[in-house]
Amino acid sequence: MSEDRPAMAGAPAVEFHGVSKHYGPVKAVDELSLQLPQGRTIALLGPNGAGKSTSIDLLLGLRKATGGTVRVLGSTPREAVNAGRIGVMLQSGGLMREVTVREFLTLITQLHPKPLEIGELLARANISDIADRKVDKLSGGQTQRVRFAVAIAGENDLLVLDEPTTGMDVENRQIFWQAMKAEARRGKTILFATHYLEEADQVADLVVVINKGRLLAEGTAAEIKAMAGFRRVAFRLPGAREEDLSRLPGVRSVDLSGGLVRMQTSDSDATLYAVLDAGHRPSEIEVTALGLEQAFIAITEQDNSSQDSGGQDNGGQDKGGRDDNGRDGGNGQGPEGVR
């Protein structure tokens, strides 16, 4: 499986082939296959515990996979890291104390094989304004911006950022995204982990959704966002049958308990008109937008319940678009399924 190839310029930025990482019974990463192109800004999106940090540690060679193969920029993680090709901002990790931001980053650049000049680094990281502050006097958001500067302290090809905006207020976040987008315009590949769909939507041009260590969806931000265009339609209709409901236009999933029907649909108008056209007269009709966060939760919950087989809330009755094998529109389950 792990044939040796030279480090090619055109190689994918990151390749996972059936990668697993188990901690005892916990499958932090579970047979994950990915192929992420170079030159893009890619969000690794998933709820807490999804396996984002573990996946990042694997692609940096910080942990050893239980199984599968990881390639980064056409070489092994260790080769790519040793060649200084990857800039990293992990979720935790301290900075020196009692020195200024400028002094600290000057030291960091001296450790890099292809360092940026310190003034250039401060400008690129958008932290010239705090260059003369003591590192241990910074706010949480400012500290994160300095940690980003560490990631770009030398010339590299791939930036890997694990939940970079944690602890940032709106202002710090904006300043940070500006700096990150400027790095993207230099042609760098950026892979950042987040549990905010909104954040992925705003800055990523490719979004990879994982949950429970498995690939859930992959596509452009617009495609992932379209999944969030679903609405929930609920009504009371005694005697309703699931097989009839699941055939209605737009319907993605059906949850039936007693006479209460709850469906997710991509077209709530068409769904409701079809119910009425069929001669039904449901009561207590409710139509609610899922919204980005809720849609994300719905996608992952559906995944959770289908995996836990016979999950508590819908007895595994989900129909349509989103199960383990038939992800969204017959794209198959390959990582290259969605352009």
Ligand X SMILES: Nc1ncnc2c1ncn2[C@@H]1O[C@H](COP(=O)(O)OP(=O)(O)O)[C@@H](O)[C@H]1O
Give me the residues that bind ligand X (CB under 6 A), please: 23, 26, 28, 46, 48-54
Per CB under 5 A, 53 contacts Mg ion: yes
Do 205 and 296 form a contact (C-beta atoms < 8 A)? Answer: no
Distance CA 166, CA 244 (A): 45
Name which of ligand X, Mg ion, none residue 50 binds, using a CB cut-off of 5 to 8 Å depending on partner kind.
ligand X
Nearer to Mg ion, 52 or 145 (CB): 52
Distance CA 101, CA 6 (A): 38
320: left (phi over 0), alpha (psi -120 to 50) or beta: left
As measured in angstroms, the least distance from the Cβ of 51 to ligand X is 4
Nearer to ligand X, 50 or 153 (CB): 50
Name which of ligand X, Mg ion, none residue 68 binds, using a CB cut-off of 5 to 8 Å depending on partner kind.
none
As measured in angstroms, the least distance from the Cβ of 250 to ligand X is 32
Do 86 and 112 form a contact (C-beta atoms < 8 A)? Answer: no
Stretch that binds Mg ion, among 8-16, 48-56, 80-88, 229-237 (CB under 5 A): 48-56
As measured in angstroms, the least distance from the Cβ of 90 to Mg ion is 9
Do 118 and 91 form a contact (C-beta atoms < 8 A)? Answer: no
Tell me the site size for Mg ion, rule CB under 5 A.
2
As measured in angstroms, the least distance from the Cβ of 306 to Mg ion is 24
Distance CA 299, CA 145 (A): 32
Distance CA 69, CA 15 (A): 8
Nearer to ligand X, 55 or 268 (CB): 55
- Which amino acid is present at 277? D
Q: Which residues pair with 89 in a beta bridge?
A: 161
- Six token digits for residue 93: 């990790």
Quick one: angle between helices 140-151 and 101-110, nearest 10? 20
Nearer to ligand X, 48 or 312 (CB): 48
Name which of Mg ion, ligand X, none residue 144 binds, using a CB cut-off of 5 to 8 Å depending on partner kind.
none
Nearer to ligand X, 26 or 222 (CB): 26
Nearer to ligand X, 51 or 115 (CB): 51
Position closest to Mg ion via CB: 53
Q: C-alpha distances in angstroms, 15 versus 22, 138, 307?
A: 19, 37, 25
As measured in angstroms, the least distance from the Cβ of 161 to ligand X is 12
As measured in angstroms, the least distance from the Cβ of 49 to ligand X is 4
Interface residues with Mg ion (CB under 5 A) are 52-53
